[in-house]
Structure 1
Amino acid sequence: MSETLQNPHNAALLGRLPLLGLPDAWLVAGCLFQTVWNLHSGLAPTANIRDYDLFYFDASDLSEAAEQAEQDRVTALFADLPITVEAKNQARVHLWYERWFGYPYAPLTSARNGIERFLVPCTCVGLQPAADPGIEGPTLYAPYGLEELYAGLMRPNPACPHLPLFEAKAQSYRERWPWLTIQAGHVTA
């Protein structure tokens, strides 16, 4: 997924992410797969990207205040960029997900576990700056592979079988990238 770094915001986020010292921190989701779809569509790498998401996992403090404090640090670090950056502690998603989306959500065990549960498997991608300075390029986590991402195939994720949410999300993506294919159907967990 080296093309995701053609989006200068992704490159900046990955370059600065270690400065935050967030545990198990990843650049995830839309800013990555949407950059790929933009380039496939002949658009600018940053087109149609509404926000940039950072996941981290910190079970030591599950309070909303602690997450907001981290968000404030993130906002300050990236204030010079013309984008919205949202940081979410994956250790606390289960505390608000059902209230927000209407479906129960089992606790996560890591930020990677959060990436695995996106509604659409082809969007389950994350990048992390290389931990070893001798390694060139970021670490990729794509639990379901990249084939469907590059093919533009969207199907429900059995790890998060909330079909109405999937359908709304997939339709939103197809409105921005009309060449995408939606594979509807039943989901078995």
Structure 2
Amino acid sequence: MPSLGLAEWWLTAGAVFQNVWNAVDSRPPGYGIKDYDIFYFDDCDLSWEAEDAVIRRAADLFDDLDARVEIRNEARVHLWYEAKFGTQIAPYRSAADAIDSFASTTCCVGITRDRDALRVHAPFGLEDVLALHMRPNRRIAPQHVYETKVAEYRSRWPSLTHDPW
């Protein structure tokens, strides 16, 4: 990722917390993971063309992986969110800010690399991730999104517990 020259980027979502669940639940690495999400933030150019250029460079970078990698500019999310989810949102201030808005606080985890060290972003901590327990995050996502995620994840990790909305 550093070779893409992005100021801020995070490997996030299921690529992180689901791999922790796999380790805790004695499942193989990568089990149940649909894709690997990478969030970046560039508010200098909010055009689709600028984001698409990064997506294409990343596709070349990850071409040798047997995995689907999805990279998205979180500075653009407010431009399309309402059409997809039915509600407006304010622009994110950073990619980490976008991570903080996942439907479950348990999913709000990201990993990045600064120079030679890894850095973890987990605004709600890691206790629930390690306990395979989901809690709703009512910041942006509606109730049905949280409940759909819980049902989907429980089908792959039956030991997962959750709080009701």
TM-score by length of 2: 0.96
Corresponding residue of 1:145? 125
| Other-structure match for 2:35 | 51
Segments of 5+ residues of structure 1 without an aligned counterpart are 1-16
Residue of structure 2 aligned with 1:66, choices 46, 50, 56? 50
Cα pair 1:103 1:162 within 8 Å, conserved = no
Q: 1 CA distance for matches of 2:11 and 2:30?
A: 15
**Partner residue, 1:11:** none
CA apart distance, 1:161:
4.2
Work out the CA distance in 1 between the residues paired with 2:6 and 2:87. Answer: 28
Measure the CA separation in 2 of the matches of 1:176 and 1:66. Answer: 36
Hey, which of these two has a bigger chunk of strand by percent? 2
Q: Name the % identity.
A: 45
Higher relative contact order (CA 8 A, sep 6+): 2
1:111-130 matched pairs, under 5 angstroms: 111-130=95-114
| Residue 31 (1) aligns with residue 15 (2) | yes
The alignment partner of 1:97 has SS state of helix
Measured after TM superposition, the shift of residue 46 of structure 1 is 1.0
List alignment gaps of at least 5 residues for structure 2.
Answer: none
CA distance in 2, matches of 1:68, 1:161: 25
Report the CA distance between 1:23 and its aligned residue: 1.9
Partner of 2:134: 154
> Counterpart amino acid of 1:58?
D
Matched, 1:175 2:155: yes
Q: TM-score, normalised by structure 1?
A: 0.84
Contact 2:102 2:141 in 1 (8 A): no
* Aligned counterpart, 1:184: 164
2 CA distance for matches of 1:50 and 1:86? 10
Q: 1:92 aligns with which of 76, 79, 83?
A: 76
1:82 is aligned to 66
- How far 1:124 sits from its partner (Å)? 0.4
| Offset from partner CA, 1:40-80 (integer Å, 9 cap, x none) | 22111111110001111000111112111111111100000
Q: Distance in 1 between matches of 2:101 and 2:151?
A: 18
Matches of 1:75 and 1:170, distance apart in 2: 30
Number of aligned pairs?
Answer: 165
User: Counterpart amino acid of 1:174?
Assistant: R
Give CA-to-partner distance per residue, 1:112-133, whole Å, 9 cap, x none: 10010011101100111123x3
- Mapped partners of 1:71, 1:95: distance in 2: 18
